[in-house]
Amino acid sequence: MKVEALFLLFLGAFFGAIGLVYWFWAYEDGGGMMLLGATLLGFLPGAYYFFWHRRFHGHKYFVVGRIKEVGDRPEDHPDAEIPDGAGTIDSFPGSSIWPFVMGMGAFVMVLAMVFGIWLAFMGIPLIRLSRYSWRSFDLTLDNPIARAPRVASSDGWRTAHRNRRPP
């Protein structure tokens, strides 16, 4: 976290210096307030990261105490090499167009609040179409658990294949 903290603190200091110069040079309130916001967006998370890095000395603390091996990151060690940070990269979600369609529907709904309610007649069907299509896309995967019918039981809903017993 030390690298991220120093990077964000530098960004906050940079935007703060630019904001001061802009404030006294341009005498314009809008740009000065935006640069003040950018300064805070650098200082607030940067100070938070720096505080936690200094408090725990780069280690994560758990309920049972400090576990050095789990909390250390290769980025925080000066003698680390690139292969030290390599991890397993083999788990990706399935590709689907429906999250994008739902986002577009939400975007059109925001535009409906700005430009007129008539845009909601396009946004609502997009959201509904994506919601139902996304659900049906998940149920048609090659996953037997996703396609199994759900039955009620005493401890809640369970899939039917878990309740089956061999004859």
Residue 12 confidence class, pLDDT cut points 50, 70, 90? very high
Residue 42 in this model has a pLDDT that exceeds 70 = yes
For residues 72-81, average pLDDT: 72
Please answer whether residues 162 and 155 qualify as being in contact, where contact means their C-beta atoms are separated by less than 8 angstroms.
no
Nearest Cα residue to 84 out of 99, 96, 94, 69 = 69
pLDDT beyond 70 at 2: yes
Q: How confident is the model at residue 62, as a pLDDT?
A: 46
- Measured between alpha carbons, how far is 21 from 17 in angstroms, rounded to an integer? 6
Closest CA to 35 of 23, 47, 48: 23
CA 54 to chain centre: 25
- Mean pLDDT of all residues in 79-102: 75
**pLDDT for 111 beyond 50:** yes
Give the separation between CA 152 and CA 141, rounded to whole angstroms: 23
Arithmetic mean of pLDDT, 72-88: 72
Q: Looking at the predicted structure, is the pLDDT value of residue 86 above 90?
A: no
Q: What is the dihedral of CA 145, 151, 157, 159, to 10 degrees?
A: -20
| pLDDT-based confidence at residue 120 (cuts at 50, 70, 90) | very high
Average confidence (pLDDT) over 125-139 = 81
**Global pTM value:** 0.45
Average pLDDT over residues 16-30: 93
- HEC letters along 24-38: HHHCCHHHHHHHHHH
